[in-house]
Amino acid sequence: MKKLLIPALLSALIVGCSTTPLPDDANGAPVETRSGATGGGAGVAPVVAGGIDASGLPRELTDSKSVLSKRSIYFDLDKYDVKDEYKDLVAAHAKFLVANRSYKMLIQGNTDERGSREYNLSLGQKRAESVKRSLVLLGAKEEQLESVSLGEEKPKNDGHDETAWAENRRADMLYKAADGRGEF
């Protein structure tokens, strides 16, 4: 019995320790070529043809002519549902994230100055989560997205009227590349 047990255990140990080597580019970061374009190795979706800007983001995210340069979703007073007028914008960002899995997004929920600090932090989080949920439903991976609330702490407009408040009721979408370059 002992003679059969030892070879069986050794065989199991050898098989358990063996590994199958992965191709060099299977899960690695994108490789930058001399032209600034990103290589499209296995597991890495191609980044846009327009190249990368100085912040490390694809130009389609920063070019004012691109829909993806629009990064704010605005909300009605005390609401956190994504309005119909922003659904195409959210869909465009989801499509980018699906095609570029190495990019991450931070969604910052914001409120106007009205309401208590606690209420505004909670509402800001609900706004960020609402955008995140929409992106996930459209194909973005949960691991690519993070949602936080800034409440009333980061106003876009410092005024104290309806125009200013409307600008401050928003969720901002910020990007970061796998190499850490980007907006957050």
pTM: 0.73
Among the residues of 23-105, which ranges form H helices?
59-62, 87-99
The predicted pLDDT at position 145 comes to: 98
> Per-residue pLDDT tens for 58-79?
999 999 999 999 999 999 999 9
* 172 phi/psi in degrees, rounded to 5: -100, 140
* Helix axis angle, 117-137 to 87-99, nearest 10°: 60
Q: What is the pLDDT of residues 1-57, one digit of tens each?
A: 556 656 665 555 555 544 444 444 444 444 443 333 333 333 334 455 568 887 889
Q: Which domains does the chain have, with CATH numbers?
A: 45-176 (3.30.1330.60)
CA neighbor of 138 nearest in space, from 105, 176, 98: 98
Q: End-to-end alpha-carbon separation of the chain, Å? A: 63
